[in-house]
Amino acid sequence: MFFVLHLGTSDSLAASSYGSTLSKAKGPLSQPPGFRPLNESKFAIVTFTTEQKSFTHLSLKNKAYYAKKHGYDFYVDYEQHNERGLMWSKFDMVQRVANMSKYDWVWWMDFDTLITNTNTKLEDVVAESLKGLENANSVDWLFTPDCFELNAGSFLTRATPRINKFVNAVIEYHETHATQEHQLSEQDCMRDIMFKEKRFLDNTHFIPQHKINAFPAEIPCFDQTKIKWEPGTFAIHFAGAWAHVHDMDDPTGYLMKKYEKEIIW
């Protein structure tokens, strides 16, 4: 089943609630949202796009198919609502979905991504990421590095009010440190809070890049594992394709089309 649900004051934030009747929870819920056992958990996938691109249909179709396959909800925004800049809108979206008290985990994906192995379940990704951690219930954010400390193009966040402290701290850091001469992206501020100021270390956990944010060979900005995307990998991200794929007008579209053939549907 497919329907569009308009939320709040923004008619552009739409939930593609595929599989909403396929909830995995059975019987009374044992914990509040964000802390329910993974076999009872609800997941949401969130992204946005504000202009028509050569890969718009592919990106949307891919994420919607994956959500339907596993009974997740899929949210898309088509307008920018944050005065700080386009990429700051991810915080607005993630907070709004997480604060619905409906979900346990929210997966943010930049629009220039593809899920290349749709058999991989988010429940398994979270379970593997938190396995063996003494402070597993304190971890609210699952991030990955690339060849730098952080790439915020694909991350998982626990849907708990605790995440608001991190988001507010990132916004406050931007207001305090960003200047006309020294611009800071949301990713810059997130990185500095964690790595310069050593804050929220108990609430954040870094997992290998290839787990949820793999780069293709054409974009050789890999984390310390040096593992690039290969067939069977969960997801691929074409971050900064313009800087690596030259002599063409649409490098991201070219890579999206190339790797569409590799998707395990």
Give the chain's domains with CATH numbers. Answer: 4-160+200-260 (3.90.550.10)
pTM, rounded to two decimals: 0.90
What is the distance between the terminal CA atoms of the chain, rounded to a whole angstrom? 19
- What span, in angstroms and rounded, lies between the C-alpha atoms of 183 and 137? 34
Backbone φ and ψ of 45, nearest 5°: -110, 135
DSSP secondary structure code for residue 178 in this structure: -
H or E segment at 10? strand 10-16
Token look-up 């307008």 returns 79
pLDDT tens, N- to C-terminus, the chain (265 residues): 223 333 333 434 555 543 333 334 444 556 889 999 999 999 999 999 999 999 999 999 999 999 999 999 999 999 877 677 667 788 899 999 999 999 999 999 999 999 999 999 999 999 999 999 999 999 999 999 999 999 999 999 999 999 999 999 999 999 999 998 899 999 999 999 999 999 999 999 999 999 999 999 999 999 999 999 999 999 999 999 999 999 899 999 999 999 999 999 9
Token look-up 């964000």 returns 34
Q: Helices (H) and strands (E) in the chain — how many of each?
A: 8, 10
CB atoms within 10 A of CB 185: 16
**β-bridge mates for residue 151, sequence order:** 144
- Region of 31 please: left (phi>0), alpha (psi -120 to 50) or beta: beta
- What span, in angstroms and rounded, lies between the C-alpha atoms of 238 and 230? 14
User: Which residue from 196, 103, 93 is spatially nearest to 150, judged by alpha carbons?
Assistant: 196
Backbone φ and ψ of 112, nearest 5°: -85, 50
